[in-house]
Amino acid sequence: MERVYIKDLKGYIGKEVSIKGWVDVRRDQGKLIFFDFRDMSGKAQGVVLPNATEAHEVGSKLRSEWVVEVRGKVNQRPEKAIQKDKQNGDIELEIIEMVVLNEAEALPFDIAGDGKEINEEVRLRSRYIDLRRSRMQKNIQNRHKAIQFIREFYSKEGFTEIETPCMTKSTPEGSRDYIIPSRLERGKFYALPQSPQQYKQLLMVAGFEKYFQLARCFRDEDTRGDRQPEFTQLDMEMSFADQEEIMAVNEKFITNLVKELYPEKEIQELPFPRFSYKEITEKYGNDKPDIRKDKNNPNLLAFCWVIDFPFFEKVDGGWTFTHNPFSAPKPEYIKDLMEGKNIGDIVAAQYDMVLNGCEIGGGGLRNHRPEALKKVFEIMGYAPERIEKNFGHMLKALAAGAPPHGGLAFGFDRLMMLLQNEPNIREIIAFAKTGEGKDLMMESPSEVAPGQLRELGIKIEEED
């Protein structure tokens, strides 16, 4: 008999069906044994009647989380037994036969509730079990729906989804790189990308004009609760577009995403209000303010743009970038940039999108002329040979007829965290790591065999 998903049982009233899934709850009342069964589509109640001898015998042994195949008749519940607030609350499966597909040992924790009262390390150690709870299932399913929406939206707007490499060159971009040793070229290393920044600009040079991808990014940062060593970024770039056009298409994306997937939520103000960096820091003391008028309303979304960031900031007596070194100054400051004057006053064509006190996206226009990008590195104190070694490939590409371009990247995990009303991004990542970057389930990072290290020409030195 063909399997029927639990969500579709209402279409089979009066008929025999076969379902497969897990025993969610078992309630033995002697002559009657009640079960709640669960599959990826939902839950439904079943009952073994006294005359179903074989099913009664199997049912008396079943326990929660056992995997079963169940054959039964879908019956309409009597009016007084209907549970209107539950999925399939108006039907019941009269069980005829049950087959145990696999037993389950006692679970390390209960999955009936939302799980937030359970020690997080315990949950992460057995993440495959934690993911069974309904809250986590909903989080991951909604993440999937958001990804579907992203692909459809940007494709309709004329963007092309292009994957960029996960093995690239180590360049100074703000955070530490994760590096990969090369076996074939000993002493040389690949780096995992902190973002697809350089590749997406190279795609503009290549003439694709509108690009996006859901990119995996990697940053070897110190412990921080709301970050992961690897994360997902919604990355996009446009050629021949000014700041207004880039901001407009991404505001349209966010607005439509909320309206379609989260209709219960209210966007506080449309279009999103804008604040200059100077204005916002003077008013709120930071550049990612929570401007909600009612912070007790979990479904209120207060978006805003922060624009006109300073290009450079002082660090240890020298200059460094505030966002990334590939940013362009606003047109009225290009002369100061090229002459290396009034550096602290140069304003970048950069913008951040903020939601309820969290930065969810940021971007800017890029220096599409090689001499302007080179000047940025000179201001930061890079010697000519270092510029050539780290960024020569970019300067060469920009000299090959690079169009004006710019873009934006969303922290996809952080966005989903806020939309799902979760306290941290680990709750919307299927296999998350701890705040210290450990995968407790796979027990990584871990040591590797000495032979692997020898093959790579690596020797581990003991600390004093």
pLDDT digits (tens, 9 = 90+) for 302-340: 999 999 999 999 988 899 998 889 999 999 999 999 999
How many domains does one find in the chain? 2
73 shares a domain with 141: no
Phi-psi region at 49: left, alpha or beta (left = phi > 0; alpha = psi -120 to 50)? beta
Q: Residue 262 half-sphere exposure, CB side, CA atoms within 13 Å? A: 23
The average pLDDT across 118-139 equals 97
What is the structure's pLDDT at 388?
A: 94
The CATH number covering residue 16 comes to 2.40.50.140
- pLDDT at 174 exceeding the cut of 70: no
> Percent of the chain beyond pLDDT 70?
99
Scored b (16 or more CB within 10 A) or e, 335-372 reads: ebbeeeeebeebbbbbbbbbbbeebbbbbbbbbbbbeb
- pLDDT at 246 exceeding the cut of 90: yes
Distances (CA, A) of 324 to 309, 389, 405: 12, 18, 15
Higher pLDDT, 221 or 357: 357
**Would you say residue 58 lies in a domain?**
yes
The CATH number covering residue 156 comes to 3.30.930.10
β-bridge mates for residue 439, sequence order? 444
**Would you say residue 457 lies in a domain?**
no
Kindly state the DSSP code that residue 11 receives in the 8-state scheme. Answer: G
**Would you say residue 42 lies in a domain?**
yes
174 shares a domain with 293: yes
The average pLDDT across 31-55 equals 96
Contact 34, 47 (CB under 8 A): yes
**Would you say residue 334 lies in a domain?**
yes
- pLDDT at 10 exceeding the cut of 80: yes
Distances (CA, A) of 359 to 236, 262, 424: 17, 20, 14
The average pLDDT across 420-444 equals 95
What is the structure's pLDDT at 171?
A: 81
Contact 104, 57 (CB under 8 A): no
pLDDT tens string 105-122: 999 999 999 999 999 999
CA–CA separation, 345 and 337 (whole Å): 10
H or E stretch covering 395: helix 384-398
What is the structure's pLDDT at 227?
A: 83
The average pLDDT across 352-381 equals 97
CA–CA separation, 107 and 111 (whole Å): 9
391 shares a domain with 272: yes
The average pLDDT across 54-83 equals 95
Contact 425, 432 (CB under 8 A): yes
**Would you say residue 460 lies in a domain?**
no
Report which of 214, 271, 204 is spatially closest to residue 407, judged by C-alpha positions.
204
- pLDDT at 225 exceeding the cut of 90: no
The average pLDDT across 73-93 equals 94
172 shares a domain with 77: no
Distances (CA, A) of 395 to 207, 381, 401, 461: 17, 17, 11, 38
β-bridge mates for residue 233, sequence order? 215, 411
Residue 463 — pLDDT band, cuts 50, 70, 90? confident
**Would you say residue 62 lies in a domain?**
yes
343 shares a domain with 420: yes
210 shares a domain with 354: yes
CA–CA separation, 402 and 386 (whole Å): 23
Contact 190, 179 (CB under 8 A): yes
233 shares a domain with 85: no
**Would you say residue 440 lies in a domain?**
no
What is the structure's pLDDT at 309?
A: 96
Q: Could you say which of 67, 102, 137 is where a domain stops? A: 102
211 shares a domain with 74: no
The average pLDDT across 348-369 equals 97
| Domain ranges, residue 47 | 6-102
Number of neighbours of residue 79 by Cβ within 10 angstroms: 7
- CA angle, 357 as apex, 355 and 363 as ends, to 5°? 55
Residue 133 — pLDDT band, cuts 50, 70, 90? very high
Report which of 233, 228, 232, 230 is spatially closest to residue 434, judged by C-alpha positions.
228
60 shares a domain with 209: no
Q: Dihedral sign, CA of 158, 195, 327, 250?
A: positive
35 shares a domain with 167: no
Residue 173 — pLDDT band, cuts 50, 70, 90? low
**Would you say residue 437 lies in a domain?**
no
CA–CA separation, 389 and 127 (whole Å): 43
CA–CA separation, 47 and 93 (whole Å): 6
CA–CA separation, 135 and 115 (whole Å): 9
225 shares a domain with 83: no
Instruction: Give 10's contacts (C-beta < 8 A, 6+ positions apart).
Output: 74, 88, 90, 91
Beta strands 210-218 and 189-191: pairing type?
unpaired
195 shares a domain with 310: yes
CA–CA separation, 93 and 196 (whole Å): 51
Mean pLDDT of the chain: 95
Number of neighbours of residue 464 by Cβ within 10 angstroms: 3
The average pLDDT across 403-432 equals 97
Kindly state the DSSP code that residue 10 receives in the 8-state scheme. Answer: G
Higher pLDDT, 71 or 172: 71
The average pLDDT across 12-23 equals 98
- What stretches of 176-290 show up as alpha helix (H) in DSSP? 197-205, 243-261, 277-284
The average pLDDT across 212-239 equals 91
The average pLDDT across 176-194 equals 95
pLDDT tens string 313-323: 998 889 999 88
Distances (CA, A) of 62 to 38, 99, 184, 217, 309: 14, 10, 55, 44, 62
CA–CA separation, 362 and 243 (whole Å): 12
